[in-house]
Amino acid sequence: MSTSTRLVHIDALRGLAVLLMVLVHAAATWEPTFSGGFLLLGVVVSGAGGLAAPLFVALLGWGLYQRALTFQQRAVRAGWLFFFQFVINLSAPHLFEPWTPGVLSLMGLLVLIEPAWRPLFQTSKSAKRSFATVVLLTFFLSVPLSPYQGPSVWESRIDTPNIVWLMKHLTLTGLYPLFPWIVFCFFGTFVASQNNDDKHKGLLTIFTMGLVVSIAVLAISTSRGEVWALPTGDAALTFFPAN
């Protein structure tokens, strides 16, 4: 694909991701009470806003597949992402510490380590195998690794007193750790590697799996008398922290 050609639908998805990010950050900052007639609004905000970060990371994976970056290009892009994460943290001290890793630092890390995983997606067939393997590994490792991923407490996931904690939050215990968020980057790369027919089949399969999981979580939360989704608070699905 020519890197000089702008794709309208990709630009539209980027704009949508920004809009969703603003939506969910506003809800988490003001923490409106979602009860009674506002419960449906809370579910919509959480469900839609929760797509923002996965969409950003998936679009990053899609973009990285389009062209191979030189070491200098990779370093510059990652550096800007880390810098703007720092700026965002300073602009929201009620949510983050200055060095708290976030979605932008996750994207910066993915850009830096791209040479390690890019060969997995060189062909359409290898991309299918690689993506399926990563999804299955993530699914089966999530439970045994959960004790090492830290508590689902906001303060614990933003506390970054030194570089050791910064690296832990970047890779495993933070708000957007490399594991398991790398799956969304691989999803974007997988989509980019497929031809139109395979792409439609793959997306339909992934959509069906996601819908089944969402319905299962809804059923479980309903049976336990829990709220299904909220921007933050006590619910089966929350955006802060992402679960």
Task: Name the phi and psi angles at 203, rounded to 5.
Answer: -65, -40
- Evaluate whether residue 64 is within a structural domain: yes
- 3-state DSSP of 210-225: HHHHHHHHHHHHHHCC
192 is written with which tokens? 């980019």
- Evaluate whether residue 3 is within a structural domain: no
Q: How does DSSP assign the chain, residue by residue?
A: --TTPPPHHHHHHHHHHHHHHHHHHHHHHH-----GGGHHHHHHHHHHHTTHHHHHHHHHHHHHHHSPPPHHHHHHHHHHHHHHHHHHHHH-TTT--TT---HHHHHHHHHHTHHHHGGGGSSHHHHHHHHHHHHHHHHHHHHHHGGGS--S-HHHHH---SHHHHHHIIIIISSS-HHHHHHHHHHHHHHHHS-HHHHHHHHHHHHHHHHHHHHHHHHHHHHTT--SEEEESSSSEEEETT-
5 is written with which tokens? 């050609």
Render each residue's pLDDT in the chain as its tens digit; 243 residues. Answer: 444 566 666 767 777 777 777 776 666 666 555 555 556 666 666 666 677 888 889 989 988 988 888 999 999 999 999 999 999 999 888 889 999 999 999 999 999 999 998 888 877 777 888 888 888 888 888 778 878 888 878 888 899 999 999 999 999 999 899 998 999 999 989 888 877 666 677 777 777 877 887 788 888 888 888 877 766 667 777 665 555
- Evaluate whether residue 228 is within a structural domain: yes
Q: Give residue-wise pLDDT tens across range 202-233.
A: 777 777 877 887 788 888 888 888 877 766 66
59 lies in which domain range?
8-240
- Evaluate whether residue 130 is within a structural domain: yes
Tokens 């957007």, residue? 176
For 132, other C-beta atoms within 10 Å of its C-beta total: 13
- Evaluate whether residue 59 is within a structural domain: yes
- Evaluate whether residue 1 is within a structural domain: no
**pTM, full prediction:** 0.78
- Evaluate whether residue 154 is within a structural domain: yes
For 183, other C-beta atoms within 10 Å of its C-beta total: 19
What's the domain count of the chain? 1
